[in-house]
C-alpha cells in the first residue's frame, strides 16, 4: 500500500489545525514567561501556571488521539466519522484551553472541552480495538505457522 497525502487527508487536516493550536498555546506560555521574567517553572505566577497547564494538557491528549484517528483513516473508516471526531477533538481542545486560560477553577470551557476530548478518545480507541480485533480474527490473529 502506497501512502499519499490524499490517503490521509482528513487526519492531515486536523493535525494541522491542532498543530496551530499547540503553537498558539506555546506562544502564550512564552508571553507569560516574558511578562513574569520566569525562565523555569511557574515562579508562583498563576497566569503562567494556567498557560503551562493549558499547553501541557493539550500535548497530553492530542498526539495519541491523532494517532488513533490516523490508524482509523488508514483502516478505511468513513471520512464522515473521522470529521466528526476531528471536529470534536479540535473544538474540545479550544474550549478546554479557553476555559483554563480564563479561570483556574471549574468552568464551562474546561468541562465541555474535557468531555469532548474524552468522548473522542473513547470512541477512537474503541473503534481501533474492535476493528483491529476483527481483522486479526479474520486472519488467524496474525499468526502464521510454517
Residue 54 domain-assigned (yes or no): yes
Domain assignment present for residue 68? The answer is yes
Burial of 138: CB neighbours in 10 Å, binned 0-12, 13-18, 19+? exposed
Tens-binned pLDDT, residue by residue, of the chain (146 aa): 566 657 799 999 999 999 999 999 999 998 988 888 877 877 878 888 898 899 999 999 999 999 999 999 999 999 999 999 999 999 999 999 999 888 878 889 999 999 999 999 999 999 999 999 999 999 887 776 65
pTM over 0.95: no
Residue 135 in grid coordinates: 481483522
Domains identified in the chain, total number = 1
Is residue 109 included in any domain, yes or no? Answer: yes
- Residue 130: alpha-carbon gap to chain centroid: 21
Residue 144 in domain = no
Amino acid 103: pLDDT: 82
Taking Cα atoms as reference points, which of 51, 54, 55 lies closest to residue 38?
51
Residue 56 lies in a domain: yes
CATH number at residue 105: 1.20.120.550
Whether 146 is covered by a domain: the verdict is no
Residue 145 lies in a domain: no
User: Which DSSP state fits 7?
Assistant: G
Amino acid at each position: 500500500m502506497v501512502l499519499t497525502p490524499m490517503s490521509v487527508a482528513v487526519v492531515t487536516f486536523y493535525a494541522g489545525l491542532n498543530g496551530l493550536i499547540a503553537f498558539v498555546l506555546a506562544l502564550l506560555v512564552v508571553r507569560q514567561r516574558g511578562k513574569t521574567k520566569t525562565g523555569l517553572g511557574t515562579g508562583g505566577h498563576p497566569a503562567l501556571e494556567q498557560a503551562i497547564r493549558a499547553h501541557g494538557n493539550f500535548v497530553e491528549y492530542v498526539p495519541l488521539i491523532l494517532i488513533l484517528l490516523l490508524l482509523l483513516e488508514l483502516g478505511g473508516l468513513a471520512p464522515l466519522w473521522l470529521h466528526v471526531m476531528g471536529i470534536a477533538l479540535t473544538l474540545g481542545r479550544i474550549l478546554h484551553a479557553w476555559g483554563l486560560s480564563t479561570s483556574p477553577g471549574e468552568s464551562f470551557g474546561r468541562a465541555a472541552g474535557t468531555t469532548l476530548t474524552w468522548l473522542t478518545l473513547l470512541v477512537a480507541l474503541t473503534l481501533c480495538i474492535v476493528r483491529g480485533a476483527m481483522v486479526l480474527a479474520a486472519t488467524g490473529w496474525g499468526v502464521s505457522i510454517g
